[in-house]
Amino acid sequence: MTRIKERRLLALLGIGGVLVLAAIFVVLFPLLANSYTFLLKRGVELVTSMDWSPMMNQFGGLQFILGSLWVTFWSTLLATPLAVSLAVFASDLSPRRLRGLFGGLVDLIAAIPSVVYGYWGLMIFGPLLASTVYPLLQSAFSGVPLLSTLFSTNAITPQCFMTAVLVLALMITPYASAIIRNAYEMTPKDMIEAVYALGGSKWDAIKMTLSYIKSSILAGVIIAAGRALGETMAVTMLIGNSVGPFKPCLLCRGATITSIVVNEFQEAMMNPSHSEALTALIVILIAMGSVLLYLGRKISKNFVEAEIHA
């Protein structure tokens, strides 16, 4: 395109550009400014200890970091098959006439606020699971090594890691699915016709398409994991909010970085160390998210493109 010199136009648009750059500093600067002294002085305690007792001036937050990773891992694991299936269904298997409606429905569902998912989980989904599925899981896996620790708990409650994980998996499925669907529909028709020409079945065509868009699937999954990591309201309402040490268990109560911040920030306003510790945890959360995005860019060549469609 021709480069037109229009200084005044560029200056005007430049203001917008500079302010977008400023926006990231508006987020990062106050967080860093109010946590760096804490991180320098007690950062090691924050990321290695699991003793969290603001009243006693103990700020070990490892259980929240592990809790965030634990919830992210399981919800992403569960969302992946759902998202891939939904993408294939929406772009290949559903009746052609319904596809527009279907896409709209998924967009709509993706726009339901986190806090509403949380309330649904709190009032309906969690209690239902706790009275039906969780006791079954617990008894089914009670003798199995490794798996039994996942499902062992003294008391089954509607609010636990598992409820948060399941609702979160549901929430991130439309995101991952939209990215996968976009790639699925971009697959060259020749490739698919070649499969049929070789006598392949519908299933062979789907398998080929999915392996063709592997990298986009990975990108979608990583972006969804990023969403799960930063997800706040639904997790806070469903995870049970226990500040005790982390246990690799799904039916136990727990906490994540986001849930501890929502739960305690109000009272922490009175105690500088406490509010700085929570702010430092947010900084750690952003760092974890950045590592994830960085890995995504390294692993998947379609990552940047997928990010735009997210």
Partner 1 sequence: MRKVHPGILAIYLLSFLALGLLLWVLGAILVNGLPVVLHYGVQLFTANIPPPVFFFGPPPEVGLAPAIVGTLMIVFIALLISFPIGFLAGVLISEFYYTRLAKAAEHVASLLVEVPTIAAGIAIYWLIVVPTQGFSAIAGSVALSLIMIPYIALYTAEAYRKVPKLIKEGGLALGIPYSKVLFKILRGLVAPGVITGVLIALAKAAGEAAPLLFTAGWSNKVSLDPFQPSASLSVLIYKFGFSSQELWLKLSWAASFILVFMIILPLIIISKLVVRKHEF
Residues numbered 97 to 116 that lie near partner 1 (CB under 8 A) are: 104-105, 107-109, 111-116
Closest separation between CB of residue 142 and partner 1, Å? 26
Judged by CB under 8 A, which of 47, 62, 69, 82 binds partner 1?
82
Nearer to partner 1, 147 or 309 (CB): 309
φ, ψ for residue 58, nearest 5 deg: -110, 125
Q: Is 23 near partner 1 (CB under 8 A)?
A: yes
φ, ψ for residue 160, nearest 5 deg: -160, 175
Nearer to partner 1, 169 or 252 (CB): 169
Q: Which residues in the 216-245 window bind partner 1 by CB under 8 A?
A: 223, 226-227, 229-233, 236-237
Judged by CB under 8 A, which of 47, 50, 147, 310 binds partner 1?
310
Residue 238: how many other CB atoms lie within 10 Å: 29
Closest separation between CB of residue 246 and partner 1, Å? 20
Which residues, 6+ apart, have CB-to-CB distance to 200 below 8 Å? 208
Q: Which of 33, 35, 105 is nearest to 277 (CA)?
A: 35
Nearer to partner 1, 7 or 189 (CB): 7
Q: Is 124 near partner 1 (CB under 8 A)?
A: yes
Q: Is 20 near partner 1 (CB under 8 A)?
A: yes
Q: Which of 231, 220, 224, 229 is nearest to 121 (CA)?
A: 231
- Count each helix (H run) and each strand (E run) in the chain, helices first: 16, 2
Q: Is 52 near partner 1 (CB under 8 A)?
A: no
Q: Is 265 near partner 1 (CB under 8 A)?
A: yes
Nearer to partner 1, 223 or 249 (CB): 223
Closest separation between CB of residue 100 and partner 1, Å? 9
> Do 141 and 147 form a contact (C-beta atoms < 8 A)?
yes
Torsion on CA atoms 63, 68, 73, 75, rounded to nearest 10: 130
**Number of residues forming the site for partner 1 (CB under 8 A):** 91
Which residues, 6+ apart, have CB-to-CB distance to 243 below 8 Å? 52, 53, 63, 255, 260
Which residues, 6+ apart, have CB-to-CB distance to 293 below 8 Å? 222, 226
Site string for partner 1, 159-198 (x = CB under 8 A): -----------x--xx------------------------
Q: Is 291 near partner 1 (CB under 8 A)?
A: no
Distance CA 35, CA 152 (A): 37
Strand-pairing partners, residue 240, are 254
Q: Is 137 near partner 1 (CB under 8 A)?
A: no
Q: Is 2 near partner 1 (CB under 8 A)?
A: yes
254 in helix, strand or coil?
strand
Q: Is 4 near partner 1 (CB under 8 A)?
A: yes
Nearer to partner 1, 154 or 266 (CB): 266
